[in-house]
Amino acid sequence: MTTEHTHPETHLDVAPHEAEELEPGSTSAGAHGPIYRDVTPEQEVVEQALVDTVIASFDACEDPRLKELMVSLVRHLHSFIREVRLTEEEWGTAIEFLTKAGHITDDVRQEFILLSDTLGASMQTINVNNVAYRGATEATVFGPFFVEDAPEIELGDDMAFGAPGEPCWVEGTVTDTDGNPLSGARIEVWEADEDGLYDVQYDAGKRAARAHLFSDAEGGYRFWGLTPTPYPIPDDGPVGKMLDAVGRSPLRASHLHFMVSHEGMRTLVTHIFPTGDPIGRKDTVFGVKDSLIKEFPQQPAGTPTPDGRALDGTWSRVRFDIVLAPAGV
Ligand code: BEZ
Ligand code: FE
């Protein structure tokens, strides 16, 4: 199909001599913006005029950043609607989807974070805001299961607090990008149990498999946790239905969450992922980065533990050296 482009100058998407063959379902970014399929010049004028009017409605906005965000949002949203030739029924379905996401959301269940995560929006925002800096540890998704009031533990203590799973000895250091130890770094850790559930999914007030601790004078830290196992994100709501409809799994790669903060340093939100995980790169929230995949060697029953703890069964261990970037980079 050949599209004709005889738009008035003000709304010209592409000069007539630049017109291209467009496949159904495709768009082309010409020098003056996208060309939408099956759209007559008259229709193009109507659609573009609305975009211009909506954008102009922000002219009086006194907050330049808010104005930039709103104008760009409108531009991209309208571009999406025009590119896919969104039907009114489809728009209705989208509104219904968002309404359901709102209804299922409460203090513990956050469907909008799940939506952002499963569309890669969380991961992209993290990429934009955590630029690579001289070997600093990479960041990944926060997820919806962090709580502010996790108990404090001493170095070497067990953060599982009775949550089921194979014990895992976790140790490492916190340093800056020159290798200087960062003592007193606050390390928040949280993870799902071996049944794939976080404490708060059992009961909003329950606290297990989460804690915070502080690095020692040499920047060292150590604690007992659980060997991470794969688990599905909560998929009994609209996001789960969306994943099912598009043929995607709700499973996350096995992981242990960290949030590490220290004065003067960029706060790091990340996880570590065991090597050989069956989900790996198919992580439904796109959170896996190669640098965060670590060996968690399993220790046979009876292997002496680093701190003399008596354990009947197998246990695992992992080393995770954390490098913080300076704040403001
Ligand atoms: C999590 O790791 O806890 C998580 C992350 C994104 C969505 C759901 C759960
Ligand atoms: Fe998680």
DSSP-derived 3-state class of residue 75? helix
Q: How far apart are CA 33 and CA 11, in angstroms?
A: 10
Residue 207 domain-assigned?
A: yes
**Residue 20 scores a pLDDT above 70:** no
Residue 268 lies in a domain: yes
- Establish if 311 belongs to a structural domain: yes
Q: What percent of the chain has pLDDT over 90?
A: 81
Instruction: Point out the ligand 1 atom lying closest to the alpha carbon of residue 190.
Output: 3
Residue 105 is assigned to a structural domain of this protein? no
DSSP code per residue over 228-246: ---EEPP-SSHHHHHHHHT
Nearest ligand, measured from the Cα of 251 = 1
Q: How far is the CA of 145 from the centre of ligand 1 (A)?
A: 7
For the Cβ of 285 lying below 6 angstroms from any atom of ligand 1, the answer is yes
- Band (pLDDT 50/70/90 cuts) for residue 11 is very low
Q: Is 145 close to ligand 1, i.e. is its CB under 6 Å away?
A: yes
- For residue 226, give the ligand nearest its CA: 2
Confidence of residue 32 (pLDDT cuts 50, 70, 90): low
Q: How far apart are CA 175 and CA 320, in angstroms?
A: 11
CA of 182 to the centre of ligand 2 (A): 26
Checking if the pLDDT of 317 tops 80, the result is yes
Residue range 261-302, pLDDT digits in tens: 999 999 999 999 999 998 988 999 999 999 999 999 999 999
Which residue has a Cα nearest atom 6 of ligand 1?
143
By residue count, the chain amounts to: 329
Give residue-wise pLDDT tens across range 203-248: 889 999 999 999 999 999 999 999 999 999 999 999 999 999 999 9
Mean of pLDDT values over 22-51: 73
The answer to whether residue 184 sits within a structural domain is yes
Residue 232, in any domain of the structure: yes
Q: Examine the pLDDT at 42 and tell me if it is beyond 50.
A: yes
What is the atom index within ligand 1 of the atom nearest the CA of 142? Answer: 5
Lowest mean pLDDT among 11-15, 164-168, 175-179, 196-200: 11-15
Ligand nearest to the CA of 144: 1
pLDDT of amino acid 58: 98
| Residue written as token pair 């209705």 | 92
Measured distance CA(200)–CA(145) in Å, rounded: 7
Query: Is 233 near ligand 1, meaning CB less than 6 Å away?
Result: yes
For ligand 1, atom 8: residue with the closest CA: 233
Query: Which DSSP symbol is given to 145?
Result: -
Region 53-64 average pLDDT = 98
Residue 215 CA, ligand 1 centroid: distance in Å: 25
pLDDT computed for residue 34 by the predictor? 53
Q: What is the CATH number of the domain that holds 130?
A: 2.60.130.10
State how far the Cα of 68 lies from the Cα of 58, in Å rounded to an integer. Answer: 9
Copy the structure tokens of residue 136.
């600093």
Q: How many whole angstroms separate alpha carbon 129 and alpha carbon 122?
A: 11
User: Which of 242, 252, 258, 286 has most ligand 1 atoms within 8 Å of CB, for mutation?
Assistant: 252
Q: Is the CB of 144 inside a 6 Å radius of any atom of ligand 1? A: yes
The total number of structural domains that make up the chain: 1
In a domain, 209, yes or no: yes
Burial profile 241-279: b = 16 or more Cβ within 10 angstroms, e = fewer: ebbeeeeeebbbbbbbbbbbbbeebbebbbbbbbeebeb
Q: Minimum-distance ligand to the CA of 142?
A: 1
Mean residue pLDDT of the chain comes to: 90
Token pair for 35: 């060309």
* Closest by Cα among 257, 145, 256 to 202: 145
Please tell me the distance from the alpha carbon of residue 217 to that of residue 16, in angstroms, as a whole number: 69
Within a domain: 170: yes
Among 113, 145, 188, 254, name the best residue to mutate to test ligand 1's pocket (greatest count of ligand atoms within 8 A of Cβ). 145
Tokens representing residue 261 in the block? 């903060």
Report how far ligand 1's centroid is from the alpha carbon of 325 (Å): 24
Question: In terms of residue numbers, what domain contains 151?
Answer: 115-324
Centroid of ligand 2 to alpha carbon of 311 (angstroms): 26
φ/ψ (deg, to 5) at 113: -65, -40
Question: Within the chain, how many helices (H) and strands (E) appear?
Answer: 7, 14
